[in-house]
Structure 1
Amino acid sequence: MHDEERLKEKLRAIEALFAGATTEGEREAADRARQRISARLVEMQGEAQVEWQFSLNPWTYQLFVALARRYGLQPYRYRRQRHTTLVVRASERFMKGTFFPEYDAMSKTLHEHLTEVTKRVVSEVLNSDTSEPAVVDAEPRQLQAFKDAPERK
């Protein structure tokens, strides 16, 4: 759980940074900053609302939904869209000036953490050699399909 707590603290620090808190860990300052961002969002609601569509993986999907809801945005998808597709309506200024920078920083932190955990678990359980595979200097041949694979349901 130590790694998980570190990740949570990193995400909180990023949130505090983008919310405008001056000192990490100041809950009151972070709350006031979050309120300022929410007020900015309300102020921007008079601006043209643009529909933004995203294709996300399961981890960034969860992060995106949580961050969108934190700012009062309502993520949705249209019938027949993939489960990994999300749509939100918001002003361009809010998305580009507030949402995307915070989302990008949190997504990067989450990706780094998941990569680190994956390498560690694979190394400990399967094989300690986690180096990159060799690059072969030849033209690829036509690969045969793997026909005897077990059925997946």
Structure 2
Amino acid sequence: MQYTFPDTWSVRIFVALCRKHGVRPYRYPRQRRTTVMVRVRQRAFEATVAAEFRTLHRELIGYFDEMVDHLIADAMRGDGDDETLEQRQIDR
């Protein structure tokens, strides 16, 4: 099975979970660092490792969201709300 992740943080969590559950992740030559291969029974893997990964990934994203909000509000003393961006027309 092949898994592709959006970032290296996700890869690291996935690889750690695989190893925790006795699965040996690997990568073929020239595959991207965000791609991980595993040779497993899909149903059992999805019920254990993949389910645990989804839970931890949600927590990771939540943590990153909180940290970015904190950095913008406290460290930069700014507002990073992209919903309030000015809308401009494209000149043709």
- Within a 5 Å distance, the mapping from 1:1-150 to structure 2 comes to 52-56=1-5, 57-133=7-83, 134=85, 136=87, 138=89, 140=90
CA 1:135–1:99: 2 relative to 1, 3 Å: farther
The number of residue pairs the alignment matches comes to 90
How many angstroms does 1:122 deviate by?
A: 2.4
How many angstroms does 1:135 deviate by?
A: 6.1
TM-score normalised by length of structure 1: 0.53
Work out which of the two has the higher radius of gyration on C-alpha atoms and give 1 or 2: 1
Distance 1:95 1:82 in 2: 22
Query: Aligned letter for 1:102?
Result: E
Relative contact order: is structure 1 or structure 2 higher (C-alpha 8 Å, sep ≥ 6)? 2
Query: Aligned letter for 2:69?
Result: K
Query: Aligned letter for 2:37?
Result: V
Matched with 1:42 is none
TM-score normalised by length of structure 2: 0.83
Deviations 1:25-65 (A, max 9, x none): xxxxxxxxxxxxxxxxxxxxxxxxxxx11122111111001
- Given that 2:72 and 2:79 are in contact with CA atoms closer than 8 Å, whether structure 1 keeps it comes out as no
Distance 1:135 1:94 in 2: 49
Root-mean-square deviation (Å): 2.0
CA 1:141–1:68: 2 relative to 1, 3 Å: farther
Q: SS of 2:40's equivalent?
A: strand
Distance 1:113 1:127 in 2: 20
Which segments of 5 or more consecutive residues in structure 2 lack a partner in the other structure?
Answer: none
Query: Aligned letter for 1:80?
Result: R
Q: Which runs of 4+ in 1 moved over 3 A?
A: none
Identity of aligned residues (%): 28
Distance 2:31 2:45 in 1: 22
How many angstroms does 1:82 deviate by?
A: 0.9
